[in-house]
Amino acid sequence: MTVSSTPSARGGRLAIPSVLMRGGTSRGPFFARADLPDDDETLARVLRSALGSPHPLQVDGVGGGHPLTSKAGIVGPSTEPGVDLDFRFAQLRPDDDSVDMNANCGNLLAAVVPFAIEAGMVVPVEDTTTVRVRTLNTGAIAHISVRTPEEGGVRGVEYAGDTRIDGVPGTSAPVTIGFLDTAGSIAGSLLPTGNRRDTVELPGVGAIDVTCVDNGQPLVIVDASVLGVTGRESPAELTANPELRERVEALRLTCGELMGLGDVSGRNYPKMTLVSPPEDGGALTTRSFIPRVVHESIGVLAAVTAATACVLPGTVAHELATLPTANDTDTTLAIEHPSGAFEVRLGQDPGDPTRITRSALVRTARALMAGELYVPLGIWNP
């Protein structure tokens, strides 16, 4: 696979080297940091043009008309001692012109190391390559391992394998991700309101209990039944329910303030997580508003955060969850979602099993296409 080395101008357009990657259940173009503008305003213009935002189909770009396929990754060598790569995640949207670089995305994160190897930023020397990656959006550090066997005298990423993740067809090689210290990634602390449960007034519904929690992704966890649904509906059914969407958004705005996140009307967090008892042998059933449409499965750090809430007595999640038998240092929970389940291993402090110190999970990734992404020269003239 070849990725040309620098942006170049021809025919009124700028050709920027890029690899289109699937990471977990998300997809987006990846770029080397050195190939993109330094200032965020020009960067946002370039990304909007590359993805084709805003437009419902993103027909004039490589976005897929859904928030999960309206993402981009920017990767470069890290400036932080002890870290190999810096990853910047950009969330774009088909329905508006926002370019949000404040949130985490553990799914696209799964594609960072394969991209860095494709782009020559990381040279594999063993059958498994483990790289420390910092997500610049929040400072979260992940240890990511990918398979890099030798083939014809050259080591590269092995994409084929027998790992299946729910929400993606087929099987691929595993990408393992371990996180340390993700508590309060955006909201500042694991329980940003200081409580495991808060009661808030929701117009048209009354007083309802929520858990506001952030172990990598700020979530508001609410019992689906108090919002008049079972929590087992399909994403399309929930997204097509205007009264529910209005209530969920009103609750999000209220909880955003409570969590110290300010006015979140233009933000992609907190994610609103409707929960119900597990249906299929897992710990908890979830439906995740991200935040205006419903996720086809669940975000990576959203799953880590929901799993964390499950093991904390007093939370809305704990009350509805079926917890697996745990030892004092490790619990593996299956967070059920519309396309199956997401397994998260939580590492616990032996002195206090409710203190989560690390998490680990498996994703897959695939390089879909490599080449140049064109944007009109008026957008950026390097």
Cβ nearer to ligand NQM, comparing 78 with 268: 268
| Residue closer to ligand NQM, measured from CB, 89 or 380 | 89
Nearer to ligand NQM, 3 or 302 (CB): 302
Contacts with ligand NQM by CB under 6 A: the residue count is: 18
Asked if residue 148 binds ligand NQM (CB under 6 A), the reply is: no
Establish if 26 lies at the interface with ligand NQM (CB under 6 A): yes
Helices H / strands E in the chain, number of each: 7, 20
* Residues 283, 307: Cα–Cα separation, whole Å: 8
Q: For residues 148 and 308, which CB has a smaller minimum distance to ligand NQM in the complex?
A: 308
Asked if residue 179 lies in contact with residue 215, where contact means CB atoms within 8 angstroms, the answer is no
Q: What is the DSSP string of 207-262?
A: EEEEEEEEBSSEEEEEEGGGGTS-S-S-HHHHHT-HHHHHHHHHHHHHHHHHTT--
For 69, list phi and psi in degrees, rounded to 5.
-120, 30
Minimum separation from the CB atom of position 167 to ligand NQM (A): 9
Omega of the bond prior to 291 within 30 degrees of 0, cis?
yes
Q: Quick one: which of 165, 238, 258, 290 contacts ligand NQM (CB under 6 A)?
A: 290
**Among residues 121 and 301, whose Cβ is nearest to ligand NQM?**
301
Which residue from 300, 321, 333, 367 is in contact with ligand NQM, where contact means CB under 6 A? Answer: 300
Least distance (Å) between residue 208 CB and ligand NQM: 22
CA distance 346 to 326: 10
The least CB distance from residue 153 to ligand NQM, in Å, is 36
Binding mask 249-278 for ligand NQM (x = CB under 6 A): -------------------x--x-------
Residue 185 contacts ligand NQM per CB under 6 A: no
The answer to whether residue 15 forms part of the interface with ligand NQM (CB under 6 A) is no
Site for ligand NQM in 213-232 (CB under 6 A): 217
* Rg of the Cα atoms in the chain: 20
CB nearer to ligand NQM: pick between 107 and 254: 107
Q: Which of residues 76-135 bind ligand NQM (CB under 6 A)?
A: 104-108
Residue of the chain from 16, 18, 25, 255 that contacts ligand NQM (CB under 6 A): 25
How many CB atoms within 10 Å of residue 304?
31
Of 27, 25, 15, 11, nearest to 367 (Cα)? 27
Closest alpha carbon to 376 in 48, 17, 75: 48
> Between 25 and 78, whose beta carbon lies closer to ligand NQM?
25
Q: Which is nearer to ligand NQM, 14 or 310 (CB)?
A: 310
Stretch that binds ligand NQM, among 240-248, 295-303, 335-343, 361-369 (CB under 6 A): 295-303
Does an H or E element contain 29, and which? strand 26-32
Sign of the CA dihedral 277, 283, 287, 290? positive
* DSSP symbols for 76-96: EE-SSTT--EEEEEEEE-SSS
Closest CB 312 distance from ligand NQM, rounded Å: 18
CB of 305 to ligand NQM, least distance (A): 8
Question: With binding defined as CB under 6 A, does residue 27 bind ligand NQM?
Answer: no
- Transcribe 345-372 into DSSP letters: EEEEETTEEEEEEEEEEEE-EEEEEEEE
Question: In the complex, which residues of this chain contact ligand NQM (CB under 6 A)?
Answer: 25-26, 67-68, 104-108, 217, 268, 271, 290, 295, 299-302
